[in-house]
């Protein structure tokens, strides 16, 4: 399709009346056509008003129509074909293979949420039937379900132009919950956002939904982004990005006359703990572990929220061999083009501060990539004492850089882990011989992270029913939630109880006839839904 360079508000293409911006090719720093017009706050209000108007009908969709809508979005994204991958590659510098996988993840999670909508357990139906003759007091008929919060503001992420962007996890889970979405495109990949935005708008039209179910807007985060969060029509926020930007949105949301939740994924170092047993094998196994670590650090130029920024390795001969293997592995790596010139600049600043810190040495460094925004990957080393006393060593460096911390025993690990801020993940590499040493670390990590991994790496987040992609602050703003997996839908729901409501006035999920064939908890017991084929038999 021909890109318009304009926002998409409730199905209509709207030229912004503010300034203009361009996407840039980070491999060349050249501007990409077309220019994108930015909305004013007055224009933004039309999008939020449309979302508010769409809520009544969208929040009460029957499961089949609702699920079909989500599947239509996935179909429409795939129908864009290579045009989407080409534009995304131009705007991000990411290779086609990475973007192909990311597109599959985007469409896969939409279809997964469609299955969740059809199955219906997320509606959380509970029924406590009346007990009129209960002594000393009768019990009223009380029924509960989860309802959508209302319109949701979603902010696109810089590092995932598809899977955490226009139709990505936050949008998919909000739409699955029954919440209209006003999506603020990331200015680093405006064309990619527009292509996907039209795919969503087409699904809205084709399924006969209110056009305000989805809007795509362009504008500065410092003004339009803040105005979006402050708008009274918006009832929740999904955000993936920097800690400073996430906290700014949290403050705006908290200062509203009606405060709203902000589900922000912000920063994470994803510590890895290597135990003695993992280094007790032959030299080839140590080399393999070091190579896997470097691959996790350098993949996608390290621009993954789960990239391991810290690794704890034992002091002594085995640890020395591992560190040497890490140095060889990273020396063989080359820089990859980073998402933007600004991100590359921040990487240079962060690695400069790390290399200048007392007690930090360079273990190894690769070679720069083919462009000025492709710095050479670097891995540094320090001791556990320096790590626990210098806050600079706890700062996230977004990109291909990591820090190896040498420790001398289990007490060192417990001390260091207790000082780490909230993280998305923690990984343990060990053998059965290390179980006794590792056991005391598990409860410490439970208080620090959302996902604990054994003998694996945190990169590559499975989209499923059991996944948790969240963690204590500052990894996320709400440690109780996840932004990946089917549980993500719960962020955009709230419970409502209905007491002594006549059947004729009850919403469909709570009616005795169970017209949507839902599993329900009745008087505390789970009652399975009747099979659709058996209904009326």
Active site residues: 265, 305
Tokens 């170092």, residue located: 269
Tokens 């006003």, residue located: 182
d(CA 507, CA 105) in angstroms, rounded, equals 34
d(CA 143, CA 105) in angstroms, rounded, equals 36
Type and span of the H or E element at 284? helix 283-298
Determine the length of the chain: 537
d(CA 20, CA 124) in angstroms, rounded, equals 45
- Is residue 36 a contact partner of residue 216, using CB atoms and an 8 Å limit? no
Kindly list the distances between the CA atom of residue 72 and the CA atoms of 3, 7, 127, 166, 284, in Å, as whole numbers in the listed order. 21, 21, 33, 15, 49
Please write down the long-range contacts of 463-467, taking CB distance under 8 Å and 24 or more positions apart.
463/105, 463/108, 463/109, 463/112, 463/169, 464/112
Tokens 């460096």, residue located: 397
Q: Where are the alpha helices (DSSP H) in 420-463?
A: 435-438, 441-446
* Beta bridge partner(s), residue 406: 313, 383
d(CA 398, CA 302) in angstroms, rounded, equals 7
Q: State the DSSP code for 529.
A: P
The string over 145-164, giving b where at least 16 C-beta atoms fall within 10 Å of a residue's C-beta and e elsewhere, is bbbbbbbbbbbbbbbbbbbb
Residue 282 corresponds to which tokens in the numbers above? 């032959």
């Amino acid at each position: 399709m021909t890109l318009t360079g304009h926002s998409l508000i409730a199905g209509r293409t709207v030229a912004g009346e503010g300034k203009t911006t361009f996407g840039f090719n980070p491999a060349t720093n050249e501007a990409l056509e077309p220019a994108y017009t930015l909305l004013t706050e007055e224009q933004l209000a039309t999008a939020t008003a449309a979302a508010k108007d769409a809520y009544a009908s969208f929040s009460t969709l029957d499961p089949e129509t609702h699920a079909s809508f989500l599947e239509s979005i996935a179909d429409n994204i795939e129908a864009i074909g290579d045009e989407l991958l080409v534009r995304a590659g131009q705007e991000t510098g990411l290779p086609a293979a990475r973007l192909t996988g990311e597109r599959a993840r985007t469409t896969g999670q939409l279809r997964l949420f469609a299955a969740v909508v059809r199955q219906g357990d997320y509606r959380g139906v509970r029924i406590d039937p009346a007990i009129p003759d209960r002594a000393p007091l009768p019990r009223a008929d009380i029924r509960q379900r989860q309802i959508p919060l209302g319109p949701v503001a979603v902010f696109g992420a810089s590092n995932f132009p598809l899977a955490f962007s226009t139709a990505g996890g936050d949008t998919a889970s909000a739409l699955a919950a029954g919440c209209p979405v006003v999506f603020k495109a990331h200015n680093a990949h405006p064309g990619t956002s527009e292509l996907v935005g039209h795919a969503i708008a087409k699904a809205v039209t084709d399924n006969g939904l209110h056009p305000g179910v989805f809007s795509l807007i362009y504008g500065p985060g410092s003004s339009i982004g803040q105005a979006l969060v402050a708008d009274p029509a918006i009832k929740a926020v999904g955000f993936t990005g920097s800690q400073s930007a996430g906290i700014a949105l949290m403050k705006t949301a908290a200062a509203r006359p009606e405060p709203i939740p902000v589900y922000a994924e912000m920063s994470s170092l994803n510590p890895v703990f290597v135990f003695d047993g993992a280094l007790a094998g032959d030299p080839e196994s140590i080399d393999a572990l070091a190579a896997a670590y470097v691959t996790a650090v350098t993949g996608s130029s390290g621009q993954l929220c789960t990239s391991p920024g810290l690794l704890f390795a034992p002091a002594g001969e085995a640890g020395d061999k591992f560190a040497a293997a890490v140095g060889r592995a990273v020396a063989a790596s080359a820089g990859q083009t980073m998402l933007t010139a600004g991100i590359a600049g921040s990487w240079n600043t962060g690695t400069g501060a790390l290399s200048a810190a007392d007690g930090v040495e360079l273990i190894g460094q690769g070679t720069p990539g083919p462009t000025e925004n492709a710095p050479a990957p670097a891995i540094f080393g320090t001791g556990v004492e320096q790590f626990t006393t210098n806050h600079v060593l706890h700062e996230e460096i977004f990109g291909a850089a990591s820090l190896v911390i040498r420790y001398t025993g289990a007490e060192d690990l417990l001390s260091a882990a207790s000082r780490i801020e909230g993280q998305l993940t923690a990984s343990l590499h060990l053998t059965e011989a290390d179980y006794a040493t590792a056991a005391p670390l598990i409860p410490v990590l439970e208080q620090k992270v959302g996902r604990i991994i054994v003998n694996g790496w945190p990169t590559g987040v499975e989209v499923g029913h059991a996944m948790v992609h969240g963690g204590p602050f500052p990894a996320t703003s709400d440690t109780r939630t996840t932004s990946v997996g089917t549980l993500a839908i719960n962020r955009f729901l709230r419970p409502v109880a209905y007491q002594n409501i006549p059947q004729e006035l009850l919403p469909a999920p709570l009616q005795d006839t169970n017209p949507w064939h839902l599993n329900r908890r009745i008087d505390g017991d789970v009652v399975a839904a009747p099979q659709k084929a058996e209904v009326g038999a």
